[in-house]
């Protein structure tokens, strides 16, 4: 049997397992089963209260007088109230355990890629030599890339950098990464500058952590002014392909990216560099306290500071690591070419996974509980006595 037939057979088996899983009714919060004990406590409380009332009535002594005083009490409704309250407590406990059923299943293939996006968010990215601006172009390309990575099952991390670098480690949850990027703004990233070397160092740290199986965000990774390269010697061999994608205008003025690229090459991590902007240069915009454009940043002589695409540095980084340098064309998304290159890489040894999104059924328990509680409150505890 050829590889294609084996792959198809494996896919059929995975899909069959997904279908069987959808036929199950599950409790997402099964660990909350002790909440069902509340129903039992309610039942005990009602029995104890009934006994206390009976003892209090017997303590009065005159049975005929007690009988007349209690003639208006509706004992049947009291019993029914106890039953509906106990039932409502049981339904609420079941609702808290989140009954789930059916839903939809999606087979998420493991493409064998751990990718870190290093995104330049310095103020030079606000230049408008790429329509509508460099930063807005980045947002559009990143959204497309993350959607495709999610569909392929890739694990992706993000590094945002200007004069310093901060980021989020590799994960399959693209929604978290989009939220992280939504909070990034070139107007607020401090300190200023374009430190490609620091971004590469933090991205390389995330990939090494992925090899070690570290899923939590390191304490010093939220903001890293001077990230340290991973120590050599104790770094495990990658079980799947790893890559870093750098998106920048390429004017590094605060770090040594070539040295980090050499370290990435030793670890077998390919770096794909994407140049955004023009080599002729564009003036760097200045913004006021409200984030509105306020002219251009100027040097000591009053001349506008220009930002230029340093293609030589970006090309050298890509060549050292076996990656590729790509220049953004204002009329086309350059990440399409990067995405095509990554899709050609071999699949990892990780197995395909099944992602199941079930329908929530807690309302089937919570709504009856509310109805029962309303009924318990509405039941009269005394009869209407005829005069």
Q: Is residue 10 pLDDT above 60, yes or no?
A: no
Q: Residue 309 in contact with residue 278, Cβ under 8 Å? A: yes
> Which of these ranges, 52-61, 89-98, 157-166, has the smallest mean pLDDT?
52-61
Cα–Cα distance measured from residue 251 to residue 20, given in angstroms and rounded to the nearest whole number? 54
Cα–Cα distance measured from residue 126 to residue 284, given in angstroms and rounded to the nearest whole number? 7
- The confidence score (pLDDT) of residue 319 equals 94
Q: Is residue 202 pLDDT above 70, yes or no?
A: yes
- The confidence score (pLDDT) of residue 281 equals 63
Give the count of alpha carbons within 13 A of 328, CB side only: 27
- The confidence score (pLDDT) of residue 116 equals 94
Q: Residue 145 in contact with residue 113, Cβ under 8 Å? A: no
Q: Residue 189 in contact with residue 150, Cβ under 8 Å? A: no
Cα–Cα distance measured from residue 165 to residue 263, given in angstroms and rounded to the nearest whole number? 18
Cα–Cα distance measured from residue 359 to residue 339, given in angstroms and rounded to the nearest whole number? 33
User: How are beta strands 282-283 and 165-171 bridged, if at all?
Assistant: unpaired
pTM greater than 0.75 (yes/no): no
Residue 139 tokens, joined = 């947002």
Domain ranges of the chain: 3-104+359-378, 110-343
Cα-Cα-Cα-Cα torsion 65, 71, 75, 81, nearest 10 degrees, comes to -110
Q: In the chain, count of helices (H) and strands (E)?
A: 11, 13
Cα angle: 98, vertex 102, 108; to 5 degrees: 100
Cα-Cα-Cα-Cα torsion 298, 304, 305, 308, nearest 10 degrees, comes to 170
Residue 329 tokens, joined = 């064309």
The whole-chain average pLDDT of the chain stands at 78
Fold adopted by 110-343? Rossmann fold (3.40.50)
User: Which residues, 6 or more positions from 347, have their beta carbon under 8 angstroms from its beta carbon?
Assistant: 109, 110, 111, 112
Handedness of CA 176, 345, 231, 215 (dihedral sign): positive
* Residue in the block written with tokens 């002594």: 61
User: Which residues, 6 or more positions from 360, have their beta carbon under 8 angstroms from its beta carbon?
Assistant: 98, 99, 100
Handedness of CA 298, 277, 316, 320 (dihedral sign): positive
Q: What is the mean pLDDT of residues 80-96?
A: 91
Burial level of 356, CB count in 10 A (0-12/13-18/19+)? Answer: middle
Q: What is the pLDDT of residues 158-170, one digit of tens each?
A: 999 887 889 999 9
Cα angle: 320, vertex 321, 325; to 5 degrees: 80
- The confidence score (pLDDT) of residue 369 equals 92
Cα angle: 351, vertex 153, 214; to 5 degrees: 75
Cα–Cα distance measured from residue 62 to residue 68, given in angstroms and rounded to the nearest whole number? 10
pLDDT confidence bin for 351, thresholds 50/70/90: low
């Amino acid at each position: 049997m050829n590889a294609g037939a084996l792959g198809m057979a494996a896919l059929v088996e995975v899909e069959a397992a997904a279908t069987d899983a959808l036929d199950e009714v599950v409790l997402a919060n099964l660990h909350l089963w002790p909440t069902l004990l509340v129903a039992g406590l309610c039942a005990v409380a009602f029995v104890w209260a009934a006994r206390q009332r009976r003892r209090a009535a017997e303590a009065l002594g005159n049975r005929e007088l007690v009988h007349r005083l209690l003639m208006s009490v509706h004992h049947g409704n009291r019993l029914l109230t106890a039953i509906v309250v106990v039932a409502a407590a049981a339904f609420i406990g079941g609702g808290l355990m989140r009954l789930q059923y059916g839903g939809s299943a999606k087979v998420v293939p493991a493409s064998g890629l751990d990718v870190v996006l290093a995104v330049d968010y310095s103020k030079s990215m606000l230049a408008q030599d790429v329509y509508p601006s460099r930063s807005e172009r980045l947002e559009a390309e990143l959204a497309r890339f993350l959607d495709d990575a999610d569909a392929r099952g890739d694990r992706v991390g993000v590094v945002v950098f200007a004069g310093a670098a901060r980021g989020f480690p590799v994960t399959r949850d693209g929604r978290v990464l989009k939220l992280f990027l939504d909070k990034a703004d070139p107007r607020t990233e401090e300190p200023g500058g374009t430190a490609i070397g620091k971004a590469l160092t933090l991205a390389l740290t995330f990939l090494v952590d992925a090899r070690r199986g570290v899923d939590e965000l390191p304490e010093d990774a939220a903001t890293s002014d001077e990230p340290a390269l991973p120590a050599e010697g104790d770094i495990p061999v990658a079980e799947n392909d790893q890559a870093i994608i750098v998106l920048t205008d390429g004017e590094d003025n605060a770090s040594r990216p070539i040295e980090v690229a050499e370290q990435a090459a030793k670890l077998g991590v390919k770096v794909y560099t994407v140049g955004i902007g023009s080599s002729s240069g564009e003036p760097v915009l200045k913004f006021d306290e409200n984030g509105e454009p306020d002219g251009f940043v100027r040097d000591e002589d009053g001349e506008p500071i220009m930002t230029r695409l340093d293609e030589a540095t970006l090309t050298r980084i890509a060549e050292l690591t076996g990656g590729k340098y790509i220049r953004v064309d204002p009329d086309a998304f350059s990440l399409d070419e990067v995405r095509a290159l990554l899709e050609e890489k071999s699949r990892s040894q990780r197995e395909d996974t099944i992602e199941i999104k079930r329908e929530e059924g807690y309302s089937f328990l919570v709504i009856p509980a509310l109805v029962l509680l309303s009924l318990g409150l509405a039941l009269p505890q005394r009869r209407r006595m005829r005069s």
